[in-house]
Amino acid sequence: MPGSIRSDMCRLLVVRSKEPFAPAPYLERFASIAEKSKEFQGHGWGCAWLDKAGFWQIYRNIRPVWEDDFSRFPETPLLVTHARSAFEDKDIVVENNMPFSDGKTVFIFNGELRGVRIKEKGRIGAEKIFNFIRRFEAGDLSEALRKATGIIRKRTKYIRGMNIIMVKDRRIYLSTFFQDDPEYFTMHCKENRKLIICSEPFPHDQGWTDLPNDFVRVW
């Protein structure tokens, strides 16, 4: 797929808890972050959550996240959320909204890559990255993530940012890398009774930690 992969100014959120929680308060804070972002985040959004049987459920909407009704979502121990900023207002269809999932693994991404020299299937660049990572998985998703992103970095002319979150079997895998706009691309984490990973700390909320650049971690 020589060319560019752009899903550049999207926003990401994951919340995990031992006990089920109501998603609405977290989605409301995330929506506030997206609405007030310096980049427009209104090209649709989506979320994935574990149901009571332990299966992933996916919701996508082409409307901006801050215009949606969060009361529809049931309690869950694990929530993955993505707000989309589509490059040049193109390919704005609900099928292109993340999260992407193969039924076992959930994937969200934000970043901008130029001059990518790999071939992979997918409607948009983010889906191609997801499928490329899956190609290397042989029981160890963390190793697949490291290997795939390493190859992508070697075969890409310029990477402004490439943040990836994958969730499988309640484990959260995060890969960060950026070469521009660290204030925007730095991921943030808060751990107490819940684990929260987000593109920005929640407004007026304390206890957040900035996560490093060029970093892979599993929770």
Residue 56: which CATH number? 3.60.20.10
Is residue 60 pLDDT above 80, yes or no? yes
User: Across residues 96-117, what is the average pLDDT?
Assistant: 93
Query: CA-to-CA distance for 74 and 197, rounded, in angstroms?
Result: 20
User: Which of 211 and 123 is assigned the larger pLDDT?
Assistant: 211
Count of structural domains, the chain: 1
Range of the domain at 174: 4-218
Q: Which residues pair with 178 in a beta bridge?
A: 161
Strands (E), the chain: 4-7, 11-21, 45-50, 56-61, 76-83, 100-101, 105-116, 156-168, 171-176, 188-191, 194-198, 209-210, 215-218
pLDDT of residue 1: 45
Is residue 7 pLDDT above 60, yes or no? no
pLDDT band of 139, cuts 50, 70, 90? confident
pLDDT of residue 155: 94
Cβ count near 173 (within 10 Å): 21
Residue type, 103: G
Report the predicted TM-score, pTM, of the whole model to 2 decimal places: 0.94
Contact (Cβ atoms closer than 8 angstroms) between residue 188 and residue 209: yes
